[in-house]
Chain A
Amino acid sequence: MKKDELRNLIDAHLCENLDAEAVKKLSDYLAQNAEARKLYLEMTDLHANLAVDETLWVNQPEPFDKTEVVAFSSFRSFIPWALAASVVFLLSLFLFPKPKEVQTFALIKDSYSATWEGGDLTTAVGSRLANGTLHLAEGLATLKFDSGAEVTLEAPVSLRLIDSMKCELTNGTAVTYVPESALGFRIITPEADIVDYGTRFSVTVFEETGETHTRVMEGKVKVEYNQSDLIVELNAGQRHTIQVKGMVTAEEENHQELDTMQDKPLEHGADWTFFETSKGAFVGRIPNHLFFTDDKEVVNLFRDTYVGGFHNQNSDILLLVKNAISQGPMNRKAYIEFDLSQIDRSGIQEADLLLHFAPSGWGLASHLPDCTFKVFGLAGEVPNWDEANLGDTFPGNPKIVHLGSFVLPKGVQKGRFGVRTENLTNFLKSHPSSEISFMVMRETKETEEGGLVHGFASRRHPSLPAPTLAIRLAP
């Protein structure tokens, strides 16, 4: 970038005249160029001095005729008043008794791509927190209470902190880990109190409908209803939904149940056969990805104990898909394979590939528009690929055949999506082998770096259904 262009960009930034694209251009350039930052500091300081240091203006030309435009009356005449106002403001700090020392009982342990909105508490990592409300608009943040309980907030979420053993979730998702020291830790929701007995669980409150979903990954929790004396005990692997009209009691993990409110019921009758994937992996694993540090608590973000075993290899419960601005291994594509040796493929009349998306916790949804995903069938010479060792590229050089596309609207990270096309049916019928591989990629690129990584459940996902091929065979 030429110096003039840089100066103009900085200048427009000082006047808040830059659009998002230009801000990004300036930001990227400043990030990599020390000389540019030097110029930026000089120009901002010049601007700041002109704006705040009235001593610079002594002996300057008189302002134009005050009678000309009343609104143009000189700010200089306000200086004594401004100074007086400053002093009065400062004195007001002392005239009123200093409030009692605020009792803090938690801190912000970590945050990832977090954007906070409103709220009445400080939000920097390491900040001590007292009674008050936090609104996380984007990203993730982990709070550590003095009792030992840890609550990870997944945006968008609103949480009111009450004391070291209590908080109130009014909207969004909180994933909680409670060690022995915090047994009895309570999350209050509009419909029930979730009381923890040493465990890891998630609670999601849907503000619009009032639904409360509780899901236990480890240990035990009790759900105490507000409107009745009902107490429901949940163990590991169980989930529980409270609907505003009526209650749904605890049930075992149901693999047909979808972890989203947006799913339509499955439209497959008794004449359909379902096949789960026999293999599933993705290319583009990145060692030491943002969320994978040596801090084991970070693993908790994935709400899955399997993840620890895949340290430095990204999630294995989700098959990740991403199309970044930059080239590189972060551009992930997922591969899945089905074994259809049990059926006569020539009798396939219709097929439906079903993928269950879930938040990966990586990247920002705001950096993506509506996203189109494409499903390809692998044809030609498809090697016998190993799901445990799929590296940055898929082995061999198979042909890819486009079978269909689907769209995840902006901001949607979970739900059931897939393709149900004639191309898919024909591909399954004509494929020379009964072991059939597919590749899923996101056609839509992120608009800014750090965009969302999409993910759909692999066959190893503890609660969501594996990629599924629903097939209707001729009677």
Chain B
Amino acid sequence: MTVEPPEPNPRSCTHKDFIRLFLESEKDLLRYVMVIVPNVADARDIVQETAVALWDKIDRYDPDKPFAPWACRFALNEAKMFLRKKSRQYRLADEVVNLLEIERMENSERLDARKHFLKECLKVLPKKNADLVNEYYFNELSVEELGKHFERSVEAVYKTLQRVRHALHSCIENKLQLEAKL
């Protein structure tokens, strides 16, 4: 019996494929990164760095496997490197970050399901709160800018954003429970 020599490892992904795969996964990468780096601007920088690292290692990507989980590992590495530059006092302990990273992977389907209901919950927010959240997240205005515009203190803006997030979280919980009963 003869054994065929292994095929040379072909380039697994063209430039065009890579751009497509990366853009498809970009939001997921941001979601993963923001588990440990909640600031969206920092997370965008990290994901941009990740793109460089991914392209550098693209030869190791197996196109038969999903791209996002492979890319996530790079993104999380970049995020951890970013964290190390931050004062230890102002970040979660390394072992907690590791636990969150593992459990984020394990819970990805559950979190995707929650995301599905988030869109519905946003639709039922009172207009004033929806406007505030919209400006904060979508138009990326600072809390100070929002305070000025809505004629509220910075503290009040923080509190409102906090209440809205809690309301959205509860709304998602309710919808999941309702679905479970059906």
Chain A residues close to B by CB (< 8 Å) = 7-8, 11-18, 20, 23-24, 26-28, 30-31, 34, 37-38, 40-57, 59-61, 63-64, 68-69, 71-76, 86-87, 89-91, 93-94, 98, 114-118, 122-124, 138, 364, 366, 448
Contact = CB atoms under 8 A, between A and B. Distances in A.
A34 B106 CA distance: 13
Interface string B107-148: 100010011001100110001001101110111110101000
B93 interface: yes
Contact of A37 (B84, B85, B89, B103): B103
A57 B134 contact: yes
Interface of B: 15, 18-19, 22-23, 26-27, 30-31, 34-35, 38-40, 43, 48, 51-52, 55, 77, 80-81, 84-85, 87-93, 95-96, 99-100, 103-104, 107, 111, 114-115, 118-119, 122-123, 127, 130-131, 133-135, 137-141, 143, 145, 149, 158, 161-162, 165-166, 168-169, 172
Which secondary structure characterizes the binding site on chain A?
helix
Contacts of B81: 116, 122-124
Nearest to B22: A90
Contacts of B138: 50, 54, 57, 60, 74-76
A117 B35 CA distance: 22
A53 to B, nearest CB: 6
A59 B88 CA distance: 42
A18 B26 CA distance: 28
A71 B23 CA distance: 28
A31 B165 contact: no
Contact of B165 (A47, A73, A364): A47
Contact of A46 (B39, B123, B134, B165): B165
Given A61-B127, A71-B145, A72-B149, A45 B35 contact: yes
Given A27-B96, A123-B81, 17 more contacts: A14-B165, A17-B158, A18-B90, A20-B87, A27-B92, A30-B99, A37-B96, A47-B165, A48-B38, A49-B115, A59-B123, A63-B131, A63-B135, A71-B145, A75-B138, A86-B23, A366-B89
Contacts of B84: 114-116, 123
Given A20-B89, A46-B118, A41 B35 contact: yes
Name which of A23, A43, A48 has the most chain B CB atoms within 10 A of its CB.
A48
Contacts of B166: 7, 11
Contacts of B19: 87, 90-91
15 contacts: A15-B143, A15-B158, A15-B161, A23-B90, A37-B103, A45-B35, A48-B35, A48-B40, A49-B31, A50-B133, A63-B139, A64-B149, A74-B138, A75-B138, A364-B88
A50 B31 CA distance: 10
A52 B27 contact: yes
A434 B77 CA distance: 61
A14 B140 CA distance: 15
Contacts of B130: 60-61
Give 9 nearest A-B pairs by CB, closest first: A20-B89, A48-B34, A75-B139, A51-B40, A50-B137, A52-B30, A48-B31, A94-B15, A14-B38
Contacts of B30: 48, 51-52
Contacts of B22: 90
Contacts of A37: 96, 99-100, 103
A44 B139 contact: no
Nearest to A13: B38
A285 B89 CA distance: 28
Name which of A52, A63, A123 has the most chain B CB atoms within 10 A of its CB.
A52
A18 B168 CA distance: 22
Contact of A43 (B89, B122, B165): B165
A278 B38 CA distance: 57
B88 A366 contact: yes
Nearest to B140: A75
A315 to B, nearest CB: 24
Given A51-B34, A75-B138, A93 B52 contact: yes
